[in-house]
Amino acid sequence: MKFTELLDLKPKCILCKIVLLVVIVSIFTTTDLIVKDVVYRNLRHENYPMQRKDDVVVIKGFWNYRYTQNDDIGFSILSWMEKFLSPTAKRIFLCCLQGVGTAIVICFYFYSKRLKFLVPFALIISGALGNFLDRCFRGFVVDYIMWYHKSFIWPIFNLADVFTVVGAFMLILILIFYGDDEDKPSTETVSQS
């Protein structure tokens, strides 16, 4: 079976789609939550929860693990809300926003007809669900991957963010190179003279 034929497979039943999605999302989301818990337990200062212990250097001058509590989303895009909402109201709003976003991606997955969308959507759902659960249970998202060079520091992120970005990138590539999900009718016409 060729790769393109595999991508064009259609699952025979909705139960198959559900089982495949649940298995993959469970693996990725559990991995994300376990890693966040390890970071939370080992890189957070016990006596001063908002402070962190020393960074763990992965690649000197480029990559560290640094514990950070993120009470916002994507590049602090909603930080302006702090002027209008209490911390609890903001947390509830962000949980609802992330929950609705996750539900929308799940709907897109079930709307898709081909197997080629399984892994990208599963990664996006896993990332969204991992951050959603972290925010709901902790009140914030644990971020810990810090990439930097000299004085430039990329916004600190986590494994769930990686899942979301990789899934979105895969989805874009599949749409560009392997087409959309629609069954297109044949464009061949018989010319009559």
Instruction: Single out the catalytic residue among 8, 37, 72, 161.
Output: 161
Is 5 within the bounds of a domain?
no
Overall number of domains in the chain: 1
Residues 112-139 have a mean pLDDT of 92
Is 191 within the bounds of a domain?
no
Confidence (pTM): 0.81
Is 173 within the bounds of a domain?
yes
Instruction: Single out the catalytic residue among 8, 37, 54, 143.
Output: 143
Residue 190: pLDDT above 50?
A: no
Length of the chain in residues, anyone? 193
| 62-121 pLDDT, tens digit each | 999 999 888 877 766 677 777 788 888 888 888 998 899 999 999 988 888 888 899 999
Name the pLDDT band for 38 (thresholds 50, 70, 90). Answer: very high
Question: What is the domain extent for residue 34?
Answer: 13-178
Is 111 within the bounds of a domain?
yes
Q: State the angle between helix axes of 159-178 and 14-43 in degrees (0 to 180), rounded to the nearest 10.
A: 150
The separation between CA 83 and the C-alpha centre of its own chain, rounded to angstroms, equals 28
Asked if 8 is an active-site residue, the reply is no
Residue 126: pLDDT above 70?
A: yes
pLDDT of the residue at 111: 87
Look up residue 94 and give its amino acid: L
SS3 156: coil
Asked if 161 is an active-site residue, the reply is yes
